[in-house]
Amino acid sequence: MRLEVVDRRDFILGATAATALAALLATTSAGTAQDPPASLDEALKKIMGAAKPSEGKFLLELPEIAENGNTVPFTLTADSPMTEADHVKAMHIFAPANPQVDIATFQFTPASGKASASSRMRLAKTQDIVAVAALSDGKFLMAKRTVKVTIGGCGG
């Protein structure tokens, strides 16, 4: 049991170093093939332009503490009637402290019935996760939540 804990810690420390290196690499090789947004601000501007998002009616569910940064469950839910006239078109989720800021985009239709989607993401370290919902009327909702990513097995 004890051995297992040490192994895991070593693994995570190694993984953290690799992530840091990857972050460095990502910075130096910016502007290639996929062109992911370089920062949260750039990503948000691309989606919302100059529009100001409102808070509320949009929930970002995350664990408070993620013991394993390799798989952190999340659920995005917006309060919307999901009719032709009034629905959520898309939701975007960002991890600003990851090597690549954008995590996923979910696109909905009135046929969805409910504006909600769940998945699992990788988190390099403790950070504030940001989500944006784009509504059919051109408005935006924003939600933010801190996730503490544990390094090692002692809640640090």
Interacting residues toward other proteins by CB under 8 A: 18-19, 21-22, 25-26, 36, 70-73, 75, 82, 95, 98-100, 102-109, 111-114, 116-122
- Indicate the residue among 1 and 74 with the shorter CB distance to other proteins: 74
Other CB atoms within a 10 A radius of the CB of residue 129 amount to 22
Provide, rounded to whole angstroms, the least separation between the CB of residue 2 and other proteins.
27
- Between 54 and 107, whose beta carbon lies closer to other proteins? 107
Closer residue to other proteins (CB): 3 or 34: 34
What DSSP designation does 151 have?
A: -
HSE-up of 154 (CA within 13 Å, CB side)? 5
CB of 76 to other proteins, least distance (A): 10
CB of 83 to other proteins, least distance (A): 11
Strand (E) or helix (H) holding 12: helix 2-28
From the CB of 108, what's the least distance to other proteins, in Å? 6
Residue 100: strand, helix, or coil: coil
Q: What are 121's two structure tokens?
A: 């993401």
Q: Which of 101, 143 has the CB closer to other proteins? A: 101
Identify the helix (H) or strand (E) that includes residue 3: helix 2-28
CA 2 from centroid of its chain's CA atoms: 33
